[in-house]
Amino acid sequence: MRFTVSLFDLEGLLKTLAPRPKATDTFKLSACAARVFVECKGDIGGMEALVFEDGAVSLPTKKFRELLKTYKGRQSLTVEAAGDGLRIGNFQMPVLGYDPQAVAPGQFQVFRANMPPSSGTKSSTAMQPNR
């Protein structure tokens, strides 16, 4: 699993789904369908992300929230995970479980982003002067 996501949005999603986690609480973090999902105690939330590889991990909620606080001031994080652990930059922590084939918890329609025309190229729909 590998994705890049807004740190602010990920922290907000975890605060919403697990406002006061206990030391024994766990959650599932999954990346697929151009989104990152957080599943905690039967509640599911998701947000758009740049997903390079699908996957899902189970993590201790409280420890992961504390980890995210150490990245204060950063706009985004790239998170990588496999059976041997979760990595953010040079930091690595163990995971409670790993699944390389994550499935979105619902049906989503994904639209391709429209790229703005590059400068210096002619458009096929050029405007014609009124006569």
* CA gap 24, 27 in Å, rounded: 10
Arithmetic mean of pLDDT over the chain: 85
Please tell me the pTM assigned to this model. Answer: 0.79
1-13 tens-digit pLDDT: 999 999 999 999 9
Handedness of CA 50, 53, 54, 60 (dihedral sign): negative
118 band by pLDDT with thresholds 50, 70 and 90:
low
10 Å CB burial of residue 29 (0-12, 13-18, 19+) is: buried
Looking at CATH, the fold of the domain delimited by 2-99 is given as: DNA Polymerase III; Chain A, domain 2 (3.10.150)
Q: Which residue has the tokens 């599911």?
A: 44
* CA gap 37, 105 in Å, rounded: 8
25-60 tens-digit pLDDT: 999 999 998 999 999 998 888 899 999 999 999 999
pLDDT over 50 (residue 104): yes
User: How many residues are there in the chain?
Assistant: 131
In the chain, domain spans: 2-99
* CA gap 19, 84 in Å, rounded: 28
